[in-house]
Structure 1
Amino acid sequence: MPRQDPPHRAKKSLGQNFLTDPNICRKIVDALAPSADDYIIEIGPGQGALTEHLVETGARRLRALEMDYDLADRLAERWPGLDVVRTDALKFPWDELNDTGPCKIIGNLPYNVGSKLIWDIVSKVETLSRAVFMVQHEVALRLTAEPGTKAYGGLTAWVKNYCDTRYLFKVPPTVFRPRPKVDSAVVRFDPFPLTDRPVDRERLSGLVKLLFQQRRKQISTILRKRMKPEIEEWFQKEGVSPSLRPENLTPTQFRSLSLIY
Structure 2
Amino acid sequence: MVKRVRPKKNLGQHFLTDLDIARRIADTVDACPSIPVLEIGPGMGVLTQYLVEKPREVKAVEIDRESVAYLQEHFPKLRDNILGEDFLQMDLTQVFGGRQFVLTGNYPYDISSQIFFKMLDNKDLIPCCTGMIQREVAQRIAAEPGSKTYGILSILIQAWYDVEYLFTVDENVFNPPPKVKSAVIRMTRNATTDLGCDWPLFRRLVKTVFNQRRKMLRVSIRQMFSADHQPSAGFYEQEIMTRRPEQLTIAQFVELTNQIAAVIL
Q: TM-score, normalised by structure 1?
A: 0.88
1:72 pairs with one of 58, 68, 75: 68
- What is the aligned partner in structure 1 of residue 160 from structure 2? 162
Give the AA of the match of 2:43.
G
5+ residue gaps, structure 1, are: none
1:96 CA displacement:
4.9
- What is the aligned partner in structure 1 of residue 263 from structure 2? none
Distance 2:196 2:67 in 1: 38
Distance 1:100 1:232 in 2: 44
- What is the aligned partner in structure 1 of residue 43 from structure 2? 46
1:224 CA displacement:
3.0
Conserved? CA contact 1:98–1:126, under 8 Å: no
Give the AA of the match of 1:214.
Q
Residue deviations 1:36-73 (CA, integer Å, cap 9, x gap): 732100011111010000001131x2111100011112
Q: Alignment length, in residue pairs? A: 253
1:129 CA displacement:
2.2
Q: CA RMSD in A?
A: 2.3
Distance 2:189 2:222 in 1: 34
Change (3 A) 1:197 1:64: farther
- What is the aligned partner in structure 2 of residue 14 from structure 1? 11
- What is the aligned partner in structure 2 of residue 105 from structure 1? 103
Change (3 A) 1:252 1:95: farther
Change (3 A) 1:228 1:35: closer
Give the AA of the match of 1:175.
V
5 Å-filtered alignment, 1:23-42, equals 23-33=20-30, 37-42=34-39
1:113 CA displacement:
0.4
114-123 or 90-99: bigger deviation: 90-99
1:35 CA displacement:
7.7
Change (3 A) 1:95 1:150: farther
Q: TM-score, normalised by structure 2?
A: 0.87
Give the AA of the match of 2:39.
E
Residue deviations 1:52-110 (CA, integer Å, cap 9, x gap): 00001131x21111000111122123223321111112212235569622211101111
Change (3 A) 1:56 1:218: same
Which secondary structure state, in structure 2, belongs to the residue aligned with residue 241 of structure 1?
Answer: helix
- What is the aligned partner in structure 2 of residue 116 from structure 1? 114
5+ residue gaps, structure 2, are: 261-265
- What is the aligned partner in structure 2 of residue 251 from structure 1? 250
Distance 1:52 1:201 in 2: 38
Change (3 A) 1:34 1:78: farther
Runs of 4+ in 1 over 4 A off after TM superposition: 95-99, 196-199
Distance 1:230 1:195 in 2: 34
- What is the aligned partner in structure 2 of residue 151 from structure 1? 149
Give the AA of the match of 2:16.
L
